[in-house]
Amino acid sequence: MNPELSLILGGVRSGKSGFAEKLVRELDQPTLYLATGVPSDEEMEQRIRRHRESRPSHWDTLEEPVDLAGCLRGALASTRPPAVVLVDSLDVWVSNLLLKHEDESGEALEERAMASLSQLLQVWRNSQTALFLVSGEVGLSLVPPNPLGRRFQDLLGLVNQKMADAADRVYLVVSGIPIEIKGEIKGSNPGIEIP
């Protein structure tokens, strides 16, 4: 397995998760789906359930809202380490960090997030695992009118920049259409099927 890092960006309901899952399915390798979502209300529970149902049943799933590096480290140390890991999503992970550490200054939270991502990258680099990261793209939207929204947007923008810099491939998905913005597209039809 080629231990590449791919970052898939897109807006809400853009098809980014479906595209990431399509890329992973095509590899046909033992896969770990690392979900960062925490069911906080009924709508979120339904969204998580839909995502679970859309994944192949032979994929392993772990749910970890904050400690991505620790979760990946544990999975790689298991008796059946995955060849592919799909993390969905970094934007929810950033939201979880903000909620868990809401009393920290912006600078302290930024340092925490960057250190966590550095740990995740280090664990990945010491493996032979292909890593796919899904994240929301906030650079195309308005500046939020409230402080928490601005903290989220600022932090996620930095997270996406760090991971895009480390990635071998970066895709932007718009209305279900993927555009590769870093790397080379392989295959004739990189798009996802629309139900």
Residues with catalytic annotation? Answer: 51
Helix (H, G, I), strand (E, B) or coil at 147: helix
